[in-house]
Amino acid sequence: MDDGQVHNRIEELVQEQRRLRDSPPDEGDAHGREGRLTSIQIELDQCWDLVRQREAKLNAGENPEEAQLRPASEVEGYKQ
């Protein structure tokens, strides 16, 4: 993914996240909604990690196209 594609995907995910959070809760689908919100957050973390990887490669004089989306298990294991 290039920078534009990554940022477009981030924007799509943020919009979906806002819609889910702003819509009235559906008691019958609370588990599905929470699961989707969790999935969105994980994918957002992966996308932001990819943005940081691309920037780091560019700043190091490397090809940012070599950056790759890391698995959720790796990205979610980072310490803040």
- The domains of the chain are located at 3-75
pLDDT digits (tens, 9 = 90+) for 53-78: 999 999 999 999 999 999 999 998 77
CA-nearest of 35, 36, 37, 44 to 9 is 44
Average pLDDT, the chain: 90
Res. 33 pLDDT band, cuts 50 70 90: confident
pLDDT of residue 72: 93
- Residues near 50 by Cβ (< 8 Å), separated by ≥ 6? 1, 6, 67, 68, 69, 70
Q: Number of C-alpha atoms within 13 angstroms, CB side, residue 51?
A: 14
